Structure 1
Amino acid sequence: MTLPTTSPTTSHWGAYRVRRHEDGSVAVLPHPRDPDPSPLLGNVAGALAHPTRVRAPAIRRGWLDHGPGPSDRRGAEEFVEVGWDEALDLLAAELARVRDRYGNEAVYGGSYGWASAGRFHHAQSQLHRFLAMFGGYTGSRNSYSLGTSLVLLPHLVGDADAVLRSASSWQTIEDATELIVAFGGMPAKNVHVVPGGVTRHRTAARLAALAAAGVRVALVSPLRDDLPEGLDTTWYPIVPATDVALMLGLAHTLLAEDLHDRAFLDRYCTGFEAFERYLLGRADGVVKDAAWASARCGIAAADIVALARRMAASRTLVTVTWSLQRVQHGEQPVWAGLALAAMLGGIGLPGGGFGHGYGSMGDVGDDGPRVRLPGLPAVPNPVGAFIPVARVADMLLHPGASFRYDGATYAYPDIRLVHWAGGNPFHHHQDLGRLRRAFARPDTVVVHEPYWTATARRADIVLPVTTTLEREDLGGGRRDSHLIAMHRAVEPLGQARDDYAILAALAGRLGFGDRFTEGRTARQWIEHLYTSWRNDEQPSFERFWADGELRLPPGPRRFTLFERFRADPAGAPLSTPSGRIEIASEAVAGFGLPDCPGHPVWLEPDEWLGAPAAARHPLHLIADQPATRLHSQLDVGEVSRGSKVAGREPLTMHPDDAAARGIAPDDLVRVFNDRGACLAGAVLSERIRPGVVRLATGAWYDPHGALCVHGNPNALTADVPSSELSQGCTGQHALVQVERYAGDPPPLTVLRPPPIRKRRR
Structure 2
Amino acid sequence: MKPTDRDLLTSSHWGTYRVEVADGRVTALRDFEEDPDPSPIGHGIVDVLEGPTRITTPMVRKSWLEGGPGTAGEKRGEEDFVAVTWEVANKLVADELNRVRQDFGNQAIYAGSYGWASAGRFHHAQSQLKRFLNCIGGCTSSKNTYSFAAAEVVVPHILGTFRGFLDTATSWESIASDCELFVAFGGVPLKNGQISQGGTGAHVQRAGVSAARDAGVRFVNISPLRSDLMEEVEAEWLAPRPSTDAALMLGLAHTLLAEGLQEQTFLDRYTTGFDRFTRYLNGAADGIAKNAAWAADICALPADTIRDLARRMAGSRTMISVAWSLTRQDHGEQPFWAGITLAAMLGQMGLPGTGIGFGYSAMNNIGLNRHQLDFASFPQGENPVKDFIPVARVTDLLENPGGQFDYDGQSYAYPDIRLVWWAGGNPFHHHQDLNRMRLAWAKPDTIIANEWCWNALAKHADIVLPCTTPLERSDIAMSPKDPYLVAMDQAIKPIGQARDDHQIFRGIATAMAVHDAFTEGRSAEEWQRWIWDVSRQRVSQFGIELPNWDSFQKDGWLKVPTPDKPEIMMADFRKDPDANPLATPSGKIEIFSDTISGFDYDDCPGHPIWLEPLEWLGSAEPDQLHMISNQPRNKLHSQLDHGPVSRADRPRGVEPVTMHPEDAAKRDLHEGQIVRIHNKRGACLAELRTNADIRLGVIQIATGAWFDPDGDTCRNGNPNTLTPDKGSSSLAQGPIAHSCLVKVSSA
Kept in 2: contact 1:13–1:38 (CA 8 A): yes
What residue identity is the alignment partner of 1:603?
L
What residue identity is the alignment partner of 1:609?
L
3-state DSSP of counterpart to 1:584: coil
What residue identity is the alignment partner of 2:508?
L
* 1:23 CA displacement: 6.5
Distance 2:178 2:2 in 1: 54
Kept in 1: contact 2:331–2:729 (CA 8 A): yes
**Structure 2 residue aligned with 1:756:** none
Post-superposition CA distance 1:470-511 (Å, at most 9, x none): 000011333322211100011111110011011011111111
3-state DSSP of counterpart to 2:54: coil
Kept in 1: contact 2:3–2:554 (CA 8 A): no
- The reply to whether residue 575 of structure 1 matches residue 583 of structure 2 is yes
What residue identity is the alignment partner of 1:289?
N
**Structure 2 residue aligned with 1:30:** 31
**Structure 1 residue aligned with 2:48:** 47
Residues 180-219 of structure 1 correspond to what in structure 2 (within 5 A)?
180-219=182-221
Distance 1:314 1:7 in 2: 49
Kept in 2: contact 1:179–1:314 (CA 8 A): yes
- Residue number among 249, 255, 272 corresponding to 1:253 in the alignment: 255
- The reply to whether residue 620 of structure 1 matches residue 621 of structure 2 is no
Distance 1:667 1:135 in 2: 54
Number of matched pairs: 739
Distance 1:479 1:598 in 2: 33
* 1:3 CA displacement: 9.3
Distance 2:449 2:311 in 1: 55
* 1:637 CA displacement: 1.1
* 1:244 CA displacement: 0.9
Distance 1:732 1:126 in 2: 32
Residues 483-498 of structure 1 correspond to what in structure 2 (within 5 A)?
483-498=485-500
Distance 2:740 2:273 in 1: 33
> TM-score under structure 1 normalisation?
0.96
* 1:692 CA displacement: 0.3
* 1:557 CA displacement: 4.2
**Structure 1 residue aligned with 2:509:** 507
**Structure 2 residue aligned with 1:149:** 151
**Structure 1 residue aligned with 2:737:** 731
What residue identity is the alignment partner of 2:597?
A
Residues 111-260 of structure 1 correspond to what in structure 2 (within 5 A)?
111-260=113-262
Kept in 2: contact 1:162–1:561 (CA 8 A): no
* 1:556 CA displacement: 4.2
* 1:546 CA displacement: 1.5
What residue identity is the alignment partner of 1:61?
K
- The reply to whether residue 541 of structure 1 matches residue 543 of structure 2 is no
Distance 1:609 1:532 in 2: 53
* 1:323 CA displacement: 0.2
Kept in 1: contact 2:672–2:688 (CA 8 A): yes
Kept in 1: contact 2:149–2:733 (CA 8 A): yes
Distance 2:70 2:534 in 1: 45
Distance 1:492 1:146 in 2: 35
- The reply to whether residue 666 of structure 1 matches residue 693 of structure 2 is no
**Structure 2 residue aligned with 1:719:** 725
Distance 1:50 1:217 in 2: 46
* 1:232 CA displacement: 4.2
Kept in 1: contact 2:614–2:739 (CA 8 A): no
3-state DSSP of counterpart to 2:19: strand
Distance 1:559 1:538 in 2: 23
**Structure 2 residue aligned with 1:262:** 264
What residue identity is the alignment partner of 1:182?
A
Kept in 1: contact 2:223–2:239 (CA 8 A): yes
What residue identity is the alignment partner of 1:276?
T
* 1:550 CA displacement: 2.5
- Residue number among 633, 636, 639 corresponding to 1:630 in the alignment: 636
- Residue number among 552, 557, 560 corresponding to 1:552 in the alignment: 560
What residue identity is the alignment partner of 1:659?
A
* 1:279 CA displacement: 1.0
* 1:622 CA displacement: 0.1
Distance 2:248 2:658 in 1: 25
Kept in 2: contact 1:198–1:476 (CA 8 A): no
**Structure 2 residue aligned with 1:593:** 601
Distance 2:252 2:651 in 1: 41
Q: Which runs of 5+ in 2 are unaligned?
A: none
Q: For structure 1, which segment, 228-237 or 391-400, has the greater mean C-alpha deviation from structure 2 after superposition?
A: 228-237
Q: Which runs of 5+ in 1 are unaligned?
A: 742-761
* 1:107 CA displacement: 0.5
Distance 2:560 2:586 in 1: 38
Post-superposition CA distance 1:20-47 (Å, at most 9, x none): 0237242000111111111212212112
Residues 437-476 of structure 1 correspond to what in structure 2 (within 5 A)?
437-476=439-478
Quick one: percent identity of the two aligned structures?
51
What residue identity is the alignment partner of 2:642?
V
Distance 2:633 2:394 in 1: 27
The alpha-carbon distance between structure 1 residues 37 and 394, as it changes in their structure 2 partners (threshold 3 A), is same
Kept in 2: contact 1:367–1:479 (CA 8 A): no
* 1:214 CA displacement: 0.6
Kept in 2: contact 1:110–1:421 (CA 8 A): no
> TM-score under structure 2 normalisation?
0.97
- The reply to whether residue 303 of structure 1 matches residue 309 of structure 2 is no
* 1:435 CA displacement: 0.9
Kept in 2: contact 1:645–1:666 (CA 8 A): no
- The reply to whether residue 701 of structure 1 matches residue 702 of structure 2 is no
Kept in 2: contact 1:28–1:44 (CA 8 A): no
Distance 1:106 1:241 in 2: 37
The alpha-carbon distance between structure 1 residues 648 and 540, as it changes in their structure 2 partners (threshold 3 A), is same
